[in-house]
C-alpha cells in the first residue's frame, strides 16, 4: 500500500486506549479550558484521525508563515496549508497544559488536551499575508478569507492528545472514518490502486461517470468517494442529505465492492489550488494512489481559474513531494449527440447545444419547485432525495 505522507507508518493524535482517555478526561476537568473556533476544532479532528500525518499538533508562527509562503515547514516537510489554532484569548501561557473544548456540541465537551509549546502574537501584516497565500486573495467576500481573518491573532502551537471525533462519529456513524480505518478497509478489500473522489456536493451523472472514467483509465481496483462532513458556506446542501444521495447512487449504479463511501471531519476552506493539494496529502494518508482533480476543485465563485487546482501540481508542488498521483479531469457533461457523459475536451466536434448543461442555481430552483432535473443530469433516485430535502426547507 502507498506510504503515508512524510513517514513510513501512519501516526495520529487520537488516544486509542480507553483507560488513557478516561484518565485524560478526568485530568481535563482540572485544567484551564479554551473554547475552540470551528476551524481549530476541525484541525484537531483531522490530526486525531491521522489525515494530517506526520503532524502531531498545531504549527507555530514560523512554520505557519513558511507553509503559507513556500509550502513547507522549516524542517523541510512539504505541506500546503498552515494547520493552526488561532484565538483572541490572552490568558494562555507557553508551557501550559490546557483542555480544548468543542464549539460544535452543546455544553462544549473536551475535544483534546494540548501541551502549549508557545503562544505568539500574529501581526495584522502576517495574518493577511497568510490569508493571501492560502486563498490567493484578501477579498472578504471569499468565505475562506472572511473566516480565516476572523479567527484571532494569537497562535497557539504544541502537541495534542485527541479524545474524540466531535459530532462526526455520532451524526455520521456509518460514514465517518479515520485515515487508518480507510487504509484497513482498502487492505480488507484487497485493493492496490485506489482513486479518491472529493466532494462537498451531491453527485450528479457527470460526477458518477468521472469516477468510472478514472477507474477505467487507471485500471484501478476501486474508488473512495470521500465527502466533507464539516462546516460549509450558507446555501450548500447538508452532509446528511449528500450522504443519503451518494449512498443511493452507489447502491443502484455501481457494482459491489468497487466503491467505498466515507466522510471526514473538516470544515471547507474554499481555498482552490492550495486546498486541492491538501486533499491530495490526506488522501495519500488514507491509502489512495490517485486523486481526481476536476474543474474548479475546492473553489468558490470566480476566485480561481477553472484548472488552477490542476496546474498547481505541475508548477508549484516539488517533484517527489507527494507519492499520490493526480487524475486531471476536464469539465464533464452529458452529450446528447453520443447519449452518454463525456469529458468536453474529448469531443471537439460538439457545440454547446450538444450538451446538457445546468448551472447549480438552475438545479436548485428546479428542486425547490419540485421539478426533477433531467435524467441526463441527475439519477432519478438521487433527484428524489434532493427534492424531498428542498421541499422540507420552505
Q: For the ranges 115-124, 262-271, 344-353, 355-364, which has the lowest average pLDDT?
A: 355-364
- Residue of 153, 200, 212, 247 marked active site: 200
Closest CA to 296 of 196, 365, 200, 204: 200
The reported pLDDT for the residue numbered 394 is: 58
Q: What are phi and psi of 254, to 5 degrees?
A: -120, 145
Cell of 192: 492496490
Residue ranges per domain, the chain?
18-166, 170-264+270-391
191 touches 277 (CB < 8 A): no
Q: Which CATH number fits domain 18-166: 3.30.56.10, 3.10.400.10, 3.40.50.720, 3.40.50.300?
A: 3.10.400.10
Cβ-based neighbour number of residue 368 at 10 Å: 15
374 touches 356 (CB < 8 A): yes
Helices 124-135 and 273-285: crossing angle in degrees, nearest 10, is: 80
The reported pLDDT for the residue numbered 309 is: 96
Half-sphere exposure of 274 (CA within 13 A, CB side): 25
CA distance 88 to 155: 9
Sequence-distant (6+) residues with CB within 8 A of 93 are 116, 119
133 touches 271 (CB < 8 A): no
pTM of the predicted model as reported, rounded to 2 decimal places: 0.94
For the 170-264+270-391 domain, the top CATH level (class) is alpha beta
The reported pLDDT for the residue numbered 255 is: 95
Sequence-distant (6+) residues with CB within 8 A of 255 are none
Residue 358 has pLDDT above 80, yes or no: no
**What is residue 278's three-state secondary structure?**
helix
**In which band, very low, low, confident or very high, does the pLDDT at 246 lie, cut at 50, 70 and 90?**
very high
Q: In the chain, what percentage of residues exceed pLDDT 70?
A: 98
Cell of 87: 484565538
The reported pLDDT for the residue numbered 333 is: 85
- In the annotation, is 364 catalytic? no
**In which band, very low, low, confident or very high, does the pLDDT at 116 lie, cut at 50, 70 and 90?**
very high
Q: What are phi and psi of 100, to 5 degrees?
A: -100, 120
**In which band, very low, low, confident or very high, does the pLDDT at 269 lie, cut at 50, 70 and 90?**
very high
Q: Examine domains 18-166 and 170-264+270-391 and report if their fold is the same.
A: no
87 touches 154 (CB < 8 A): yes
Report the 3 state secondary structure along 175-202: CECCHHHHHHHHHHHCCCCEEEEEECCC
pLDDT in tens, 287-335: 999 999 998 899 999 999 999 999 999 999 999 999 999 999 988 888 9
Place of cell 494569537: 154
Place of cell 439519477: 379
Closest CA to 42 of 334, 268, 330, 272: 268
- In the annotation, is 200 catalytic? yes
Residue 55 has pLDDT above 70, yes or no: yes
Who wins on pLDDT, 239 or 313? 313
Sequence-distant (6+) residues with CB within 8 A of 315 are none
Q: What is the mean pLDDT of residues 123-146?
A: 97
CA distance 340 to 366: 22
Cell of 120: 505568539
CA distance 47 to 113: 13
Q: What is the mean pLDDT of residues 170-190?
A: 96
Q: What is the mean pLDDT of residues 31-55?
A: 98
Who wins on pLDDT, 251 or 364? 251
Q: What are phi and psi of 87, to 5 degrees?
A: -150, 165
Q: For the ranges 132-136, 324-328, 386-390, which has the lowest average pLDDT?
A: 386-390
Q: What is the mean pLDDT of residues 25-37?
A: 98
- Residue of 21, 115, 201, 212 marked active site: 201
324 touches 286 (CB < 8 A): no
Amino acid at each position: 500500500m502507498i506510504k503515508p505522507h512524510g513517514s513510513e507508518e501512519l501516526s495520529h493524535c487520537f488516544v486509542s486506549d480507553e483507560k488513557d482517555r478516561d484518565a485524560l478526561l478526568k485530568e481535563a476537568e482540572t485544567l484551564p479550558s479554551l473554547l475552540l473556533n470551528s476551524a481549530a476544532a476541525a484541525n484537531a479532528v483531522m490530526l486525531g484521525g491521522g489525515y494530517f500525518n506526520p503532524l502531531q499538533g498545531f504549527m507555530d508562527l514560523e512554520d505557519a508563515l513558511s507553509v503559507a509562503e513556500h509550502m513547507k515547514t522549516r524542517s523541510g516537510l512539504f505541506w500546503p496549508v498552515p494547520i493552526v489554532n488561532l484565538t483572541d484569548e490572552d490568558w494562555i501561557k507557553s508551557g501550559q497544559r490546557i483542555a480544548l473544548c468543542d464549539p460544535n456540541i452543546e455544553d462544549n465537551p473536551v475535544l483534546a488536551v494540548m501541551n502549549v509549546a508557545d503562544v505568539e502574537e500574529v501581526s495584522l501584516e502576517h495574518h493577511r499575508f497568510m490569508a493571501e497565500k492560502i486563498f490567493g486573495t484578501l477579498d472578504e467576500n471569499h468565505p475562506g478569507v472572511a473566516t480565516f481573518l476572523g479567527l484571532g491573532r494569537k497562535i497557539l502551537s504544541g502537541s495534542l492528545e485527541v479524545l474524540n471525533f466531535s459530532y462526526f462519529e455520532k451524526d455520521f456513524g456509518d460514514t465517518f472514518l479515520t485515515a487508518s480505518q480507510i487504509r484497513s478497509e482498502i487492505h480488507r478489500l484487497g485493493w492496490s490502486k485506489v482513486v479518491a473522489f472529493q466532494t462537498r456536493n451531491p453527485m450528479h451523472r457527470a460526477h458518477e461517470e468521472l469516477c468510472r472514467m478514472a477507474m477505467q483509465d487507471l485500471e484501478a481496483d476501486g474508488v473512495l468517494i470521500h465527502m466533507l462532513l464539516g462546516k460549509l458556506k450558507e446555501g450548500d446542501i447538508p452532509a446528511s442529505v449528500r450522504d443519503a444521495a451518494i449512498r443511493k447512487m452507489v447502491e443502484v449504479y455501481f457494482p459491489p465492492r468497487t466503491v467505498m463511501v466515507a466522510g471526514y471531519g473538516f470544515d471547507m476552506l474554499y481555498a482552490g489550488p492550495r486546498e486541492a493539494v491538501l486533499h491530495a496529502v490526506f488522501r495519500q494518508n488514507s491509502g489512495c494512489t490517485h486523486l481526481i482533480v476536476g474543474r474548479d476543485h475546492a473553489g468558490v465563485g470566480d476566485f480561481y481559474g477553472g484548472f488552477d487546482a490542476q496546474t498547481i501540481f505541475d508548477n508549484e508542488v516539488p517533484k517527489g513531494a507527494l507519492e499520490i498521483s493526480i487524475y486531471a479531469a476536464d469539465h464533464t457533461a452529458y452529450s446528447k449527440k453520443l447519449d452518454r457523459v463525456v469529458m468536453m475536451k474529448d469531443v471537439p466536434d460538439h457545440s454547446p447545444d450538444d450538451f446538457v448543461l445546468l448551472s447549480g442555481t438552475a438545479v436548485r430552483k428546479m428542486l425547490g419547485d419540485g421539478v426533477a432535473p433531467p435524467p441526463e443530469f441527475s439519477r432519478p433516485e438521487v433527484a428524489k432525495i434532493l427534492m424531498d430535502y428542498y421541499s422540507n426547507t420552505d
